[in-house]
Structure 1
Amino acid sequence: MFGECHAHIFMNGFDYRKAVKDHRDRPDEAEIRRALEAYRTHGVAFVRDGGDHFGASLLARRLAPEYGITYLTPGFAIYREGRYGKVVGLSYGNLREYAALVRRLADEGGDFVKIMTTGIMDFQTDRGLTSEPLEREEVREMVHIAHEEGFRVMSHTNGARAVEIAVEAGVDSLEHGNFQDGDSIACMAEHEVVWVPTAVTVRNLIGSGRFSDEVLKSIWKGLEENMRLARKLGVMFALGSDAGACGVFHGQGICEEYQAFQDIFPEDTALEQGLKAGEMRIRKFVRET
C-alpha cells in the first residue's frame, strides 16, 4: 500500500468543530490512536502530516512506531497574520517573526517547514479562493530561511500564479495546486517539484449536499485536466488525500486517492511506479542538521 503524504491527524473527516474541541486543551490520545489504527488496518506504513497548533501531530509521531508507521510532521504550519492558516498553524507578522517560528519548529523537533501561501478553495464559487496569495519576494525569503535551517518546504498553494511563485521560490512539494494553467504546470515540471493534489478533497464532496454539485463537478473537471497535462509534461506526483478534511477519513482516504488517480489515468502502466517515486521523495522530508 502507498503511504499517506498529506494528512491532518487532529481532524476527523466529518466535524471540524468537534475535532478542535477534542484537542483544544491537550491532544486527545484516544482519538489519535483511533486514527493510527485506521492507517494500520489499511496497510499504510507512512504518514506525512500537514500540522496543527494543538500538538496532536507531534503526539502522533511519538505513538506511530507502536503501529508500525513512520510519521513526519512540521508540528505546525506557518501562515501570515490575517491570511488563511489558523486552522493548522501559527502566524507571523513579518519575516523576523517567521524566522523565529522556524527556529521554534526546529526546537520542537519538526521534520520540515509547511508554509501557507494562499487560501483554500471557496466551494461556493468556481475558481475562487478564500484569501489573496503572498507576494513573490516574501515567499522566496520564506523558503530561503527554511532551507538555510536545513528544512525542506511543503507549500499549501492554490492558483496558477501562486503556484509559479512557490515553485520558483524553491519549495520541495506543492500541496493542492488547484486552479492551475499550462504555464504553472510547466513550471512544476521544469523545477521538478513534487505535486500532491489531494484530489479526493473535491471528489468526495460531490453528491454530499454540502456544496453545489455543479460547482464541484466543474472544479473536479479542471483538476482532472490539469493532472493529465502534468503527467504528460513529466510532473512528479505523490499520493496524499488531506485525510481528516471533510469527507476524507484516515486510512480510507489514501485508498480513495489512489483510486482517483487510477480513474484519471486508466491506461498508464507506469503510474504506480511514478507515484512510488514521488512518495520516496516525500519520505526525505527530514531536517538536515
Structure 2
Amino acid sequence: MFGECHAHIFLNGRNYKEAVALHKNHVSEEAIRQAFAEYRKRGITFVRDGGDALHVSEYASKIAPQYGIDYRSPMFAIHRKGHYGRIVGCAWEDLEEYRDLVKKVKGLGGDFIKIMISGIMVYEQFGQMSEEPLAPEEIRELIHIAHEEGMAVMAHVNGADAVRAAALAGADSIEHGNYIDRDCIDAMKEKGTVWVPTLVTTGNLLGCGRYPQEELEKIFDSARANVSCAWEKGVLLAAGSDAGAYRVLHGQGLLDEYQIFCDLFGETEELKNRLKEGESVIRRKFQAEKVWKLTSKSTIIDAASAS
C-alpha cells in the first residue's frame, strides 16, 4: 500500500471545531491511537503530517512506532502573522522570528519545515482564494533559510504565481497546488518538485450539499486537468489526501485519493510505479538528520485491540 503523504492527525474528518476542542486543553491520546489504528488496518505504514498548533503531531510522533508507522512531522506549520495558517501552527512577523521558528522545529525533533504560502480555496466560487499569497521574493527567502538549516520544505500553496515561485525557489513538495498553469507544471518538472495534489479534498465534497455543486465540479475538473498535464510532463506525483479535512477520513482518505488517480490513469503498474517514485523522494528528503527506528515487533499494537 502507498504511504499517506499529507495528513493532519489532529483533525477527525468530520468537524473541525470538535477536533480542536478535543485537543485544546490536553492532547487526546485516544484520538491519535484511533487514527493510527485506521492506517494500520489498511496496511498504511508511512504517514507524513502537516502539523498543528496543539502539540498533537508532536505527541503522535512518539507513539507512531508502536503501530509500525513511519511518521514524519514538521510539528507545526509556519505562517506569516495575519495570514492563513493559525489553525496548524505558529506565526512570524520578521525573518528573525521565522529563523527562530525553524530552529524550534529542529529542537522539537521535527522532520521538515512546512510553510504556509497562500490561503485556501473558496469553494463557493471557482477561481477565488481566501487571500493573496506571499510575494515571490519572500517565498524564496523562507525556503532558502529552511534549506540552510538542513530541512526539506513542504509548501502549502495554491494559485499559479505562488506555486511557480515556490517550485522555482526549491520547495521540495507542493501541497494542493490548485489553479495552476503550464508554467507551474514546467517549473515543478525542472526542479524535481514532488506535487501532492490532494484531489480528494474536493472530490469528497461532491454531492454533500455544503457547497454549490456546480462550483465544486469546476474546481474538481480543473484540478484533475492539471494533474493530467503534470502526468504527461513527467512531474513527480505522490498520493496524499489531507486526511482529517472535512469528509476525508484517516486511512480511508488515502484509498479515496488513489481511486481518483485510478479514474484518471487506470489502475496500472505505471500509475503505481509513478506514485511510489514520488513517495520515495518524499521519504528520502523529508526526514530529520536522525535515525528513525521501529520498535520491536513485540511492541507493535494489534490494530483490532487498539481501535
TM-score clears 0.5 = yes
Displacement of 1:39 after TM fit? Answer: 0.4
Give the whole-Å Cα distance in 1 for the aligned partners of 2:118 and 2:171. 14
Aligned to 2:20, the other structure's residue is in SS state helix
Paired position in structure 1 for 2:162: 162
Where in structure 2 are the equivalents of 1:269-288 lying within 5 Å? 269-284=269-284, 285-288=286-289
**What amino acid does structure 2 have at the position aligned with 1:104?**
K
- Which residue does the alignment assign to 1:241? 241
Aligned-partner residue type, residue 274 of structure 2: G
Q: Is the 8 Å Cα contact of residues 26 and 55 (structure 1) preserved in structure 2?
A: no
In structure 1, the residue matched to 2:40 is 40
In 2, Cα distance between equivalents of 1:188 and 1:273: 19
Secondary structure (helix, strand or coil) at the match of 1:218 reads: helix
Q: Which amino acid aligns with 1:254?
A: L
Correspondence 1:145-184 to 2 at 5 A: 145-184=145-184
Give 1:269 shift: 4.2
Cα distance in 2 for partners of 1:186, 1:149 equals 27
Find the aligned partners of 2:200 and 2:10 in 1 and give their Cα distance.
18
The answer for the alignment partner of 2:120 in structure 1 is: 120
Cα deviation for residue 122 of structure 1 reads 0.6
Structure 1 runs not aligned, ≥5 long: none
Equivalent residue, structure 1, for 2:303 = none
Partner letter of residue 104 of structure 2?
R
**Which TM-score applies when normalising by structure 2?**
0.93
**Counterpart residue number, 1:204:** 204
What is the rounded CA distance, in whole Å, between the counterparts of 2:77 and 2:191 in structure 1? 23
1:268 Cα deviation (Å)? 5.3
Work out the CA distance in 2 between the residues paired with 1:214 and 1:268. Answer: 31
Letter in 2 for 1:27: V
Q: Which moved more, 1:151-160 or 1:131-140?
A: 131-140
Partner deviation per Cα, 1:26-73 (whole Å, 9 max, x = no partner): 211000000000000111000000000111111111111111100000
Residue type of the alignment partner of 2:137: E
Name the amino acid aligned to 1:249: L
Look up the SS of the partner of 1:71 in the other structure: strand
2:298 is matched with none
Q: Is the 8 A contact 1:177 1:197 kept in 2?
A: yes
What code does the residue aligned with 1:68 have?
A: G
Q: Offset at 1:288?
A: 3.5
Asked whether the equivalents of residues 38 and 251 of structure 1 are also in contact (C-alpha less than 8 Å), the reply is yes
User: How much is the aligned-residue C-alpha RMSD, in angstroms?
Assistant: 1.0
TM norm structure 1: 0.98
- The aligned counterpart of 1:31 is 31
Q: Choose 267-276 or 166-175, whichever is displaced more.
A: 267-276
Same amino acid, percent of matched pairs: 51
Partner Cα distance (2:209, 2:26) in 1: 33
| CA distance in structure 1 between the aligned counterparts of 2:70 and 2:156, rounded to whole angstroms | 22
Counterpart position of 2:230: 230
User: Alignment partner of 1:283: what SS?
Assistant: helix
1:133, 1:214 → 2: CA distance? 26
SS at match of 2:86: coil
Match for 2:135: what amino acid?
A: E
Amino acid at match of 2:167: V
Letter in 2 for 1:281: V
Does the Cα contact within 8 Å between 1:51 and 1:77 map onto a contact in 2? yes
1:92-118 CA distance string (max 9 Å, x none) = 001111001001111111100000000
Q: Unpaired runs of 5+ in structure 2? A: 291-307
Whole-Å separation in 2 of the counterparts to 1:288 and 1:185:
30
Where do 4+ consecutive residues of structure 1 move more than 3 Å? none
The residue aligned with 1:86 is 86
Look up the match of 2:301: none
